[in-house]
Amino acid sequence: MSFHIVYGFLLPWVIATVHLFRYHKTILLLIFPVCSMLAFAVNDLGFTYGFWRLESKPPLEGVLAMLPYNIGIYPVLASYMILLVSHLSRHPILIVIGIALFTTFLEFLMVVTDRVEYNKGWTIGWTFVSYVIPYYLVYLYYRCLQTLRVI
């Protein structure tokens, strides 16, 4: 479990604190809760239906096992995605797809190192879909915030 805490939670938040929180507080504070909520929802569905399992010591199941990621790397990456979209707004969908591919690659490394186990026909392709949809929803949320002139 210490691996998941360090790489899924501490390292992303150290980076986010040094850069995002210092210079882009609004993005971080507005995007974090929405992305975290989406991460909890997707991971809860995946665990409940047995599509994936996180290897940890001590063994933890369900949402508790994914807690470092749900409040760590996923919202931090979503905040960076919105930062990129706000600065490179010509092709926002490519940025969404790029962040989803990057996150999928990170999970692929977890699968290869036996830290994540797929079941019931789940593949890395479905993993990409499970990332691109929530990231796109975060992008739509960002667009709503822009329309309301909150961000």
pLDDT reported for residue 62: 67
pLDDT reported for residue 151: 85
2 alpha carbon, distance to own chain's centre: 19
Average pLDDT per run of 10 along the chain, which is 151 residues long? 89 91 90 96 93 82 84 96 91 97 97 94 97 98 96 85
> pTM of the entire structure?
0.93
**Closest to 8 measured CA to CA, from 34, 43, 49:** 43
Number of compact structural domains in the chain? 1
Question: How many Cβ atoms sit within 10 Å of the Cβ of residue 83?
Answer: 18
Domain residue limits at 102: 2-147
